[in-house]
Structure 1
Amino acid sequence: MSDLELKKNEILSSFQFRHATKDFDPDKKISDADFHYILEAGRLSPSSYGFEPWKFVIMQNQDIRIKLAEFATGARRQLPTASHFMVILSRLPNDMVASSEYIKDMMENVQKLPSDIALGKQTTYDHFLKTSFAVEDDPRVMFEWACRQTYIALGNMMTAAALIGIDSCPIEGFNRAKINELLVAEGIMDLEHFGVSVMAAFGYRLHEPSEKTRQSAEQVVEWVE
């Protein structure tokens, strides 16, 4: 078998391995090196125009995890047992408009674009937000558009974890307003710039999952030639 086939089989095997883990083994912890690798998979993920509208908050403080559980019913089994628990924040619309200081800083200091190139990209991005994708007029739609990009990073982190035998669970079962309030009260989140997008737990499964079920390729794939 060629190296390419081995890589493809390894990746598909990781998808077979991964499942939405509800109960983690509280006695098994992810090493610092392995979790750094998972975070790098998120940090290096693609985003629209490369503007990275995310922040990954790792909740290792057990007192705060207990507080989160009050407003995150979908995470009540994972919060006490997961080795690492992540709250992914998304940039708010005021940071994501083309004229914002955040976008200007990204182009100048992260992407290091020459001023003329940055100006052209800013103009193109502004047109995209207002006309092509038409999200800027509705702040909720604009925020959810940024949130969708955080899911790309989350998917990559879960796949990276599965490739080395680490379990995960994406979590949307929470009261967003209450979690926002909690994170602000704890001094973790600046409500002028961020809102909660999604959560995720990482660790090692306590129980073996049931067999994975998915629709067939014929049900979900359509070729147009």
Structure 2
Amino acid sequence: MPISKTDILDAFHFRHACKAYDPTKKISEDDFRFILETGRLSPSSFGFEPWKFLVIEKPDIRALIRDIAWGAKDKVMDCSHFVVVLVRQPDTLLAEGDYVQHIMRDVHHIPEDMRKIRQNFYRTFTEQDFALTDNPKAFYDWACRQSYIAMANMLTSAAMLGIDSTPIEGFPLEKMDQAFVAHGLYDPNSYKLSVMIAFGYRLNEAKAKTRQAFDDVVEWVR
């Protein structure tokens, strides 16, 4: 049975960037696996899923985040779950690279002759259409845009369960990334930090949601 539009909009009105979390309330394992699953099932360009989700449970890593990420310092120690979203490094996303070949062969199960066609199409996209291959920063930003789709879906699915969340960009990117690498969280040749997310239950009631009027942000081109 379809979910009602009212229920969906109620979730969007419920969702806000939670400023403070109740440290006594924890998300159930089943609910949090559901939230992560909606991230895993999210769409990505060419279906290449250039992301990885680290669920940070170790207190010393949470303390590290608190001390570096100004946008997380009032949340990371009290929230129920904290996710660090990584994206794959540009060198691993090249058309002829092992990762792209693995996705097409082992995940998408594309026959070899069709893989060559798709590989060439993707190469044209990265080299010409979006001009990514000669600009690692642009390639990284493109991968980050994919990860934000997954993040948005996790924020929404959490809200539909009555769970609060906070997307976090408030950190010095290179410093935070290097700190994670120094603590062995990932290989910097394969991944780089994209964004972080806190999940849990609000300590205080949120203010009413404010947004621009519908007609100020929507224009029909007819």
Q: TM-score, normalised by structure 2?
A: 0.98
Please report how far the alpha carbon of residue 70 of structure 1 lies from its aligned counterpart in structure 2 after TM superposition. 1.7
Which blocks of at least 5 consecutive residues in structure 1 are unaligned? none
| Cα distance in 1, alignment partners of residues 84 and 106 from structure 2 | 26
Q: CA deviation at 1:104?
A: 0.6
1:169-188 equivalence runs, <5 A: 169-188=166-185
Partner Cα distance (1:17, 1:141) in 2 = 34
The sequence identity of aligned pairs, in percent, is 48
Q: Does 1:45 align with 2:42?
A: yes
Report the CA distance between 1:8 and its aligned residue.
1.1
| Structure 2 residue aligned with 1:83 | 80
1:193 aligns with 2:190: yes
Q: Secondary structure at the match of 1:85?
A: strand
After TM superposition, the structure 1 = structure 2 runs for residues 1-225 of structure 1, keeping only pairs within 5 Å, are: 4=2, 7-225=4-222
1:161 maps to a residue whose letter is A
CA distances 1:5-53 after superposition (whole Å, capped 9, x unpaired): x521111110000000010000000000000000000000000000000
Shift of 1:205: 0.3
Q: Between 173-182 and 207-216, report the one with greater CA deviation.
A: 173-182
RMSD between aligned residues:
0.9
What is the CA-CA distance between 1:63 and the residue it aligns to? 1.1
Question: Which residue identity is paired with 1:209?
Answer: A
3-state SS in 2 of match to 1:170: strand
Q: CA deviation at 1:218?
A: 0.5
Cα deviation for residue 135 of structure 1 reads 1.9
Post-superposition offset of 1:181: 1.5
Q: Matched residue pairs, number? A: 222
Please tell me the residue identity of whatever aligns with 2:155: M
Structure 2: gaps (5+ residues)? none
Instruction: Give, in whole Å, the separation in 2 of the partners of 1:45 and 1:179.
Output: 26
Shift of 1:185: 1.6
In 1, Cα distance between equivalents of 2:93 and 2:7: 37
Q: Structure 1 length as normaliser, TM-score?
A: 0.97
Please identify runs of 4+ aligned residues in structure 1 that moved more than 2 A: none
SS at match of 1:74: coil
Distance 1:161 1:68 in 2: 22
SS in 2 for 1:66: helix
